[in-house]
Amino acid sequence: MPHFLHTVRSAFVTACTGLTTTGARVYTKRHYPWQPAQLPGLVVTTSSAPEVVDMGNPPTLQVDPRIDVEIVVSGTGDLAAMLDLITSEVSVALCSLTSVAGKNVMLMPLAMTAPEFAGESDPPIARRFISFQVSPLFVLANAPDTLV
Q: How far is C-alpha 112 from the geometric centre of its chain's CA atoms?
A: 12
Between the alpha carbon of residue 90 and those of residues 10, 93, 109, the distances in Å are: 15, 5, 11
Phi, psi of 144 (to 5 degrees): -70, 0
> pLDDT at position 51, please?
94
> pLDDT at position 1, please?
63
Please give the helix or strand (H or E) that residue 141 lies within, else none: none
Q: Which residues of the chain have pLDDT under 50?
A: none
> pLDDT at position 33, please?
85
Please give the helix or strand (H or E) that residue 139 lies within, else none: strand 137-140
pLDDT in tens, 2-25: 888 999 999 999 999 999 999 999
